[in-house]
Structure 1
Amino acid sequence: MSLFPVYPLYDITPVKAKDVFVYDDKNVEYLDLYGGHAVISIGHAHPTYVDRLTRQLKEIAFYSNAIQNPLQEQLAAELADFSGCKDYQLFLCNSGAEANENALKLASFHNEKSKIIAFKNGFHGRTSAAVAATDNPKIVAPLNAQQDVEFFELGDLEGVEQALKNNDVCAVIIEFIQGVGGLDESTTAFYQGLEKLCKTYNACFIADEVQSGFGRTGDFFAFQKHNITPDIISMAKGMGNGFPIGGILIHPDIKGRFGLLGTTFGGNHLACAASIAVLDVLKAEDLLAHTKEISAYFLEKASQLPQLKSIKGRGLMLGLEFDFPISDLRKNLIFDHHIFTGSAKNPNLLRILPPLTIQKEHLDIFFEALKTELA
């Protein structure tokens, strides 16, 4: 049996990894500045993480959500304490797409409306409503296109308000820093304006923190810079450091009932153990403060590149924009310098999403390689 060919693959076969390095089957060491799409938050094979999952695997790995699972309660309590979202409720699932799918579904249940407002260059997943709210027609099947979604430019409050006046919008969903779209973000005034409009017209305000959450930006969530209170917060990638887990945080104004949402694997024992380990390491190693410190160093080094058009993003969710396509540059970084980086919808943008444990000396390696390639 062959694999269904949906991924263009580099000819590299990782077999092990440690902290910010990945090793292939020829024992070549690669510096990981991409973290597998921002998934690796506390470094590959962190000893706390490995120990926590190993102990849990020896006890119980999975049982259904029909029984008590104290690990879910522990994760909810630690998440509330660390994130500052103390009054929210937690629903656990398996991925970012599933988190956004449940967020949109819950919004529609809550206000009994069906239209979605999303933003150009946004990415929210590949499932039914999540992919319809993603600004990429190439991955939206006719089945998905039946969803009623209207896209606006970042910053277009007037357009959003005109759409909300029809009183048919269940949710406004937004990445506070766009990931796949190219690290664009808007202003505090815009985000606060969206929050106000959602309240005025009874639409749920969904903060998509799938990529930007769990300390990636130096704040626990990217929206927290703007002093707002979303109705629903979706999260996933860095939440499990590689173990599949996602979730939504739900404002107490939204009421639950039995059967409203459900999942087989979401919130299983191993997944909870993984996320608890991530939170423990984020706190013990003060990785949010470290992220801000390393980000400042990155910005200082990047500003010295004469070919650079702009630097985008915050924390360790960063993009280097050039005035040329970066596809060849990215290949050269992988094969000649053994450094993983990422791409974006913007063909001129090199995405940098390393483990939050990265150190200055690792960035020095990257910038030396970059200077060599740009010379």
Structure 2
Amino acid sequence: MPLFNVYPLYDVTPVSGKGVYVYDDKGAEYLDLYGGHAVISIGHAHPKYVDAVSRQVSTLGFYSNAIKNPLQKELASELERLSGCKDYELFLCNSGAEANENALKLASFKTGKSRVVAFKNGFHGRTSAAVAATDNPNIIAPINAQQQVTILDLNDVEGVKAELEKGDVCAVIVEFIQGVGGLDMATADFFERVDALCKANNTMFIADEVQSGYGRSGKFFAFQHYNVTPDVISIAKGMGNGFPIGGILIHPDIEAKFGLLGTTFGGNHLACAAGLSVLHVIEEQNLIDNVNVMSEYFIKIAKTIPQIKEIKGRGLMLGLEFDFEVGDLRKKLIYENHIFTGGASNKKLLRILPPLTVRKEHINMFFEALIGVLAEFENKAVEA
């Protein structure tokens, strides 16, 4: 049976990984500066992660949410302590799309309203309401388009104000650093005024931290760079270092009721073991401090390269923008230099999302390769 052909694939077959490296079926080593869409937070095959998951699967891998699971409470407690999101409550699911889906559903339950405000170049997932709130018509099927969503420009405070005052908006959902859209960020004034507008209009403010969370921005959550208090915070990707896990942090003003939300696999024993090991490693290895040091080092070097027209993002969620499309550049980096990088809907942007354990020597390797490829491109242009 063939696989349903929905992914354009690079001709690379990773079979193992260690730290910031992956190894293919021919034994070649690749520097991973993309982390599988920012999923690999503490490095491939981190020994504490491997040990935690292995020990858990050897005892109990799964049972449903019909029984008590102390690992869920432990995960919630550690997440509250390390994130600083005091008194929020945790609902666990399996992915970022599910997290945003549940966040939007909860907002609709809480407010009794159904319309959503989202933003241009935003990406929130591929399921029903989450994909409707995503600014990409190519992935929105007619069944998704039935959702009531208004897409506005980032920084359009007056637009948000006008929409919320109509009285039918249940949620405003925003990435504090856009991921797939290309690492754009709104201003502090915008985020803070939207937060206030939501509170004044019985509208839930949802912080999509699926990609930017868990230290990647230089704080535990990207919204913590601003003076805002989200009603719901969605999390996933780096939360499990590769194990499928997601969740939402829910403000205590939102009351839980039996049956309000539910999941079969969410918060299972293996997922919680993986999630706890990630939090422990982030704390023990001071990885958020490392994010800030490595980010400063990366940006300092990037500023010296004239072909880079703009540096976007923050922390280790970075984008390098050029005046040409980067598809061929990415191919050169992966096939000739054995370095994984990412793309975005902005075709001129190279995305950098390494494990939070990345070091200066890895950044040096990347820039040495990048400078070489850029020089090669310029030589070809001169010859032409």
- Does the alignment reach a TM-score above 0.5? yes
Which residue of 1 is the match for residue 271 of structure 2? 271
Q: Does 1:366 align with 2:366?
A: yes
Partner of 2:238: 238
The secondary structure found in structure 1 opposite 2:207 is strand
Partner of 1:159: 159
RMSD in angstroms over aligned alpha carbons?
Answer: 0.4
Cα separation, 1, equivalents of 2:40 and 2:230 = 25
Instruction: Provide the rounded CA distance (Å) in 1 between the counterparts of 2:81 and 2:187.
Output: 27
TM superposition shift of 1:247: 0.1
Moved over 3 A (4+): none
Aligned position for 1:261 = 261
What is the 5 A alignment of 1:242-321?
242-321=242-321
Residue 318 of structure 1 and its aligned partner are, at CA, apart by 0.2
CA distance in structure 2 between the partners assigned to 1:225 and 1:7 by the alignment: 35
Distance in 2 between the 1:336 and 1:14 partners?
16
Q: What is the letter of the counterpart of residue 85 of structure 1?
A: C
Cross-structure match for 2:354: 354
What SS does the aligned partner of 1:92 have? strand
Instruction: Give the drift of 1:59.
Output: 1.1
Aligned: 1:117 with 2:117: yes
Other-structure match for 2:90: 90
Match of 2:30 in 1: 30
Report what 2:45 is aligned to.
Answer: 45
Task: Give the Å deviation of 1:187.
Answer: 1.0
- Partner Cα distance (2:359, 2:243) in 1: 24
Match of 1:2 in 2: 2
Q: Structure 2: which amino acid aligns with 1:180?
A: V
Confirm or deny that 1:174 pairs with 2:174.
Answer: yes
Q: Over residues 248-281 of structure 1, what are the superposed CA-to-partner deviations in whole Å (9 max), with x where a residue is unaligned?
A: 0000000010000000000000000000000000
d(CA) in 2 for partners of 1:310, 1:11: 30
Amino acid at match of 2:35: G
What SS does structure 2 have at the residue aligned with 1:145?
Answer: coil
CA distance in 2, matches of 1:308, 1:213: 26
- TM-score norm. by structure 1 comes to 1.00
Deviation at 1:227, TM superposition (A): 1.9
Secondary structure of the equivalent of 1:77?
Answer: helix
Q: Does 1:190 align with 2:166?
A: no
Match for 1:220: what amino acid? F
Q: Is the partner of 1:79 in helix, strand or coil?
A: helix
Measure the CA separation in 2 of the matches of 1:317 and 1:97: 19
1:209 aligns to what?
Answer: 209
The aligned residue for residue 336 of structure 1 is 336
Q: Which deviations, in whole Å up to 9, do the C-alpha atoms of 1:104-145 show, x marking residues without a partner?
A: 000000010000000000000000000000000000000000
TM-score, normalised by the number of residues in structure 2: 0.97
Whole-Å Cα distance in 2 between the matches of residues 13 and 337 of structure 1?
A: 16
Q: CA deviation at 1:212?
A: 0.2
2:106 is paired with a residue of what secondary structure? helix
CA separation in 2, counterparts of 1:64 and 1:151?
37
Question: How far apart, in 2, do the equivalents of 1:178 and 1:133 lie?
Answer: 13
SS at match of 2:214: coil
Q: Deviations over 1:271-293 (max 9, x none)?
A: 00000000000000000001000
How many residue pairs were aligned? 375
Q: Deviations over 1:1-44 (max 9, x none)?
A: 00000000011100000000000000000000000000000000
Distance 1:8 1:137 in 2: 19
Shift of 1:296: 0.3
Paired letter, 2:89: Q
Unaligned stretches of 5+ residues in structure 1 = none
- Structure 2, unmatched stretches of 5+, are 376-384
- Give the distance between the partners of 1:154 and 1:291, measured in 2 at CA: 26
Shift of residue 228, structure 1, vs aligned partner: 1.0
1:218 deviates by 1.1
2:228 maps to 228
Alpha-carbon distance in 1 for matches of 2:87, 2:230: 12
